[in-house]
Amino acid sequence: MHPDRAAPHPAPAGTAPAPRCGAGADRAAPAPAPDGSPPPAPTGTLPWTRGPRPGALRPAAARPAPAGDTGTASRALVGDPWEPTAPRPAPARPAACRFRPLRSAFGRAIGRIRTALPAALLLASLATATFAPPAAAQGAAQAATAPAAATARLASALSALPANDPLALLRPEAVPFVRGNGLLAWERYLVQEMHRAFAVSPRGAWGMRIDAPDAETARRDALAACKHYAREECTLWSVDLAIADRPAPRPPARQAGPLRPSDRHLHFGPRAAQGVIVWSHGSYTPGDGDDATARRPVPQPWVRRLNVAGWDVWRFDRSPHAENMDETLPQLRQGIAALRAQGYRRVIAAGQSRGGWLSMRLLETPAEVDGVVAVAPARHGTDPELRPRALSDFFALLDRVRRQEGPAGPRVALLTFEGDPFDPGPASRARAAREVLSLVGLPALVIDRPPGQVGHGAGASVSFNDTYGACLARFLDFAQAPPARC
C-alpha cells in the first residue's frame, strides 16, 4: 500500500475528519440533495484505499429525478461519472500537505543517486585500472616460468646440503616443496625396490612410482601422478639411486673374495658405513616362473631399509642351479673375512631359501657375523619324500648352534610363511628355533607365518616390506635393544 494513499482512521464522534494528502485530497465533497436531505453514501471502493469511491453509480431512488423526468427505466441510474460536469473551484490544501511535494521530490532525487552511483564507481575504477592479461595468457606465462623457478629452487636446496654426506639427500628435510604426507611418501619411497621415481612440484604436490619394470616407466608414471594433482609441470627429484641428478655414491670397492657390491644399493665404503649386509640368494633356473624370481640374486626390498640407514650391501652370487653347500660355505666365510679386513665394523649374513639356510650355517661359528637373517630357509626342494629329512636336518643345524660356548653371539631372525611348499613344518621349525636360541642366549626374532604373507617368496613382496620391514630394521639396529616380536 502506498504511504500517501493510506485509508484515514475514523475520526472521533463530534470532530472533523483529519485532512488527507495525495490523490483525491482536494476533491470536493458530494453536495447535499435539493430537498436538504444528506447526500447518499457512495458505493464502491478504490483498490488502494478500501474507502468509498466518489461519484459511483447509485440507484435513481437515492435522489429525486430532475424536473420533467417521468422516472422511466431508461433513467434508472443517475449520476453517471462520465457525464461532463461544471468545473469546481479547487479548495485550499490542508497545511499538513503543503510540504509533501518537497519530500517527494527529495526522495526521487535520492533514488536517482542510488541508481547512478554503482555505474559511476564502475566507470571510475575502469578509468584507473591496470588490466591483467587474459587467463589463458597468464596460465601460459606461469607454465613457461614454472620449470625455471622449480630448477632454481632445486639448485638452492642442493647447495644447502653437505657434499661429503651421502645420507644428506635421503633425509626428509632435504626434499624441496613437499610437506606432511609428501614427506611420509618420500620415506616409504626410499625403502622400496627399483625401478622407482619420485617427482615434486613447486606447489607441494608429489607423485611416485615403485617397483616399475624399467627406469623410463618409473619416470613417466611419477611425473604423470604429480601433474595430475599439481595441475602444473613437475620435476623429478629421484630416479632409482640418483637424487636430483646426483649419481648414487659409489666409492671404489676392492675385491672381497667371491663377493661383490650390489649395484642396486647405495655404497658408502667401509669407513663411512654402519656395516655390511651379505645377501645370499636361493636356487633357481630361468624357467621356474614367478616363484624363482623371488629367489634371484637381487636382495629383497626390506634390505633397502638398512641400506638407507647406512649399511652397504654385498652379494654372494652363485650358480642358479643347486650347489654343494659344503663347497659354497667356505667361500662365503672367505668373503666375510675379506670384508672385515677392509674395515667393516659389523657383518650381517642374510638370505632367502637356500641362501637363508646357508646363512644359518654361519651360526656354527657365531664369531664370524654379528647377525643372521634366514627368510624361508630351505635346501631339500618340494619332494614330499624328503620332508622328514629336511625337518631333521634343520633340527641338527639348531643342535650345532646350541653347543656353541663363549660370549653372546649374533642376533638371529627367522621368517616362515604359510603355504610354503619348501617348508616341511613351519610351526615345528619356529617353535624349535625359539627354544634353542633362547637356551644359548642369542637375541632372536621369529616371525612365524605372518597374516597376509603367503608363499615361499612372500619376503620379497612390497606388502611384507611395508608391514614387517621396519621391525627387521629395528632388530638389526645395534644401537638399541632388539625387539622380541613385531
pLDDT in the model for residue 151:
63
Same domain, 420 and 345: yes
Q: What percent of the chain has pLDDT over 70?
A: 62
At 57, the pLDDT band (50, 70, 90 cuts) reads very low
On whether residue 416 sits in a domain, the answer given is yes
Identify whether residues 283 and 372 lie together within a single domain: yes
In the chain, the number of structural domains is: 2
Cell, residue 103: 519530500
Looking at residues 270-298, what average pLDDT do you find? 72
Residue 126 lies in a domain: no
Is 57 a domain residue? no
- Looking at the structure, tell me whether residues 268 and 211 fall in a common domain: no
Last residue of a domain, one of 243, 274, 299: 243
Indicate the pLDDT class of residue 166, thresholds 50, 70 and 90: low
Asked if 367 and 428 sit in the same domain, the reply is: yes
Query: Is 308 found in the same domain as 237?
Result: no
Total residue count of the chain as it appears in this document: 486
Residues 293 and 418 in one domain: yes
CATH number at residue 302: 3.40.50.1820
Per-residue pLDDT at 266: 85
- Give me the mean pLDDT over the 186-203 stretch: 90
Specify if 17 maps to a domain: no
Residues spanned by the domain of 151:
146-243
Q: Please, what is the average pLDDT of the chain?
A: 75
* 435 in the same domain as 397: yes
pLDDT above 90 covers what percent of the chain? 37
Question: What DSSP line would sit under 69-122, residue for residue?
Answer: ----GGGSEE--TTS-----PPPPPPGGGTTHHHHHHHHHHHHHHHHHHHHHHH
Helical packing angle, 387-402 and 426-440, nearest 10°: 10
Query: Is residue 331 assigned to a domain?
Result: yes
436 pLDDT above the threshold of 80: yes
Q: Is the pLDDT of residue 335 over 80?
A: yes
Who has greater pLDDT, 43 or 272? Answer: 272
332 and 396 share one domain: yes
Residue 53 has pLDDT above 70, yes or no: no
Give the residue from 217, 243, 269 where a domain finishes: 243
User: Which one-letter amino acid corresponds to residue 454?
Assistant: V
Asked whether residue 118 is assigned to any structural domain, the reply reads no
Confidence of residue 59 (pLDDT cuts 50, 70, 90): very low
Whether 239 and 266 share a structural domain:
no
Find the range with the poorest average confidence among 34-43, 326-335, 424-433: 34-43
Q: What does R_g of the chain's alpha carbons equal in angstroms?
A: 50
Q: 388: which 3 cell numbers? A: 622328514
Q: How far apart are CA 188 and CA 190, in angstroms?
A: 5
**Region of poorest pLDDT, from 54-68, 101-115, 158-172, 245-259:** 54-68
Residue 121: predicted pLDDT: 64
What is the reported pLDDT for 347? Answer: 96
